[in-house]
Amino acid sequence: MIVFYLARADNGVVGRDGGIPWHIPGEQKRFKAMTMGKPMVMGRRTFDSFPAPLPARRHIVLTRDPAWSATGAEVAHSPEQALAMAGQGEVAVIGGAEIFALFTPDRVELTEVHCAPDGNASVPPFTGLTEVAREDRPAADGVPAYSFVSLIRG
């Protein structure tokens, strides 16, 4: 089962200059709880954005560079290879935008960030998925309003 984990602004932006253009307390805690113990597929730039590999999760890094390697990363050169390396069960696809475009999710765990920041990485709206859960949070203390949304295929 392929599950996307991401935060996306109302205008589709998911990143700016290798970072995230917002800070939402609790979002990282939710991400950690939902991905713990699962193989994560990501692009090289997403892997490089972490200060260190995230504990208790496999980091399968999809890259076109045949010479790239990093401590804590398992390297894949195609989506098919990444999925084969991940094995059976849930595979957490965590970005970036180019990586999301390579896979078709069975489920999406989305943080909808209700703002429209400038950015240079975006993900289009998801089609063919049904919303099955939503938890809305109001804007407060400089944090934009946001919603935790679960979508499933079918």
Residue 51 belongs to domain spanning:
1-13+35-115
Percent of the chain at pLDDT above 70?
Answer: 100
Say if 69 falls within a structural domain: yes
Say if 22 falls within a structural domain: no
Say if 142 falls within a structural domain: no
Name the pTM for this structure.
Answer: 0.95
Res 95 pLDDT > 90: yes
Other C-beta atoms closer than 10 Å to the C-beta of 81 total 13
- Looking at the structure of the chain, the number of domains it has is 1
Token pair for 12: 């589709």
Token pair for 70: 């990093």
Say if 133 falls within a structural domain: no
Measured on CA atoms in the order 77, 51, 106, 23, is the torsion positive or negative?
negative
3-state class (DSSP) for residue 114: coil
Q: Which residue has the tokens 């260190």?
A: 52
Q: What is the CATH number of the domain that holds 106?
A: 3.40.430.10
CA–CA gap between residue 65 and residue 81 (Å, rounded): 14
Say if 132 falls within a structural domain: no
CA–CA gap between residue 86 and residue 80 (Å, rounded): 10
Say if 60 falls within a structural domain: yes
Average per-residue pLDDT in the chain?
95
Which letter does DSSP use for residue 143 in this model?
A: B
Say if 101 falls within a structural domain: yes
Res 19 pLDDT > 90: no
Say if 30 falls within a structural domain: no
